[in-house]
Homo-oligomer: A and B are copies of this chain.
Amino acid sequence: MADIRRPLTLRDVSEASGVSEMTVSRVLRNRGDVSPATREKVLEAAKALGYVPNKIAGALASQRVNLVGVIIPSLSNMVFPEVLSSISKVLEDTGLQPVFGATGYRPEKEETVIYEMLSWRPSGLIVAGLEHSATSRVMLENAGVPVVEIMDVDGPVIDTAVGISHARAGRMMAEAILAAGYRRIGFLGTRMEGDHRARKRLEGFEAALAEAGVKLAAREYYEGGSALAKGREMTAAILARVPDLDFLYYSNDLIGAGGLLWCMEQGIDIPGRIGLAGFNNVDLLDGLPMRLATMDACRSEIGQQAAEIVAGKHRDGIIGGEIIALTPKLARGDTIR
């Protein structure tokens, strides 16, 4: 039992089974023709020994890596896990494996993550957002593998993009709000510098208001903490400052939900006295006492299409250079009159 724990190699399986390394390799990869007898012997030996192939060596030799890097801002945002799971689902039957990395909305961190991922020579990269540092951009452009930018389509694309126009999503919401007759509109959102999609939504929103001669009557920003709790606080604060607001547009559903709960507790008439809307159409809204108006960002379709493109099995046979703009869907709920 004086056996030093050394990782097993093909050679060990080869010796244990009396079959050449090459043939063992073929069996283990289901490649080429191997006689059932040999096959059996090999599999038995491999299982008995508990052999786990070394993909590092395999990848180096074959110049193939079955990894797809997926780079997103944050795991705790509730929005991204949904994208990830739809990516995972599609990749599952392609032999590709997703590897996740988070940037914390920080460009420097994104650089590191991209660099780190590329150094493993993945088969493709899926990156959230269109905004990257110059260094990141160069790395992505020269990656030599499919790069799909997701979530957003408002801006210059490196290779392929799948997402929605957040500017348009903002416009659409503004139009719905105006059409319902609201005019004293406040905005509540994160202060997050790096959240370009939230910024674009707000820009689109304000542009549409401007076209109707309406200006945002108030703004309120937050950072950190429980979004639901922040939604309450901000709502209380903005209404204290500007009591005659008749609509509150939240940059995400969670703070919107907090605001909704607060307003209901205050006995405020929704959507009569005041209307509310969020963004994302998260699951959580289902369980609220009232259905918050929101906009669906097509998260799972985005993940699905991105994965299909990277896996090379996209229905349109896309090779690159395409921009796939999905249509955000308004969910009126009960908080717009």
Contacts and interface: CB of A to CB of B under 8 A. Distances in A.
Interface in A117-174: 118-121, 138-139, 142, 144
A226 B287 contact: yes
A115 B261 contact: no
A23 interface: no
Interface string A78-91: 10011011001000
Pairs A-B, 3 closest by C-beta atoms: A228-B287, A226-B286, A229-B286
A228 B288 contact: yes
Report how many copies the assembly holds: 2
A235 to B, nearest CB: 11
A211 interface: no
A36 to B, nearest CB: 23
Chain A interface, DSSP helix/strand/loop, else mixed: helix
Interface residues of A, number: 54
Contact of A286 (B50, B56, B228, B285): B228
Residue picked from A6, A55, A118, most chain B C-beta under 10 Å: A55
A115 B228 CA distance: 39
A7 interface: yes
Residue picked from A120, A257, A283, most chain B C-beta under 10 Å: A120
A27 to B, nearest CB: 16
A53 B97 CA distance: 21
A242 interface: no
Given A56-B60, A289-B261, A84 B75 contact: yes
A144 to B, nearest CB: 5
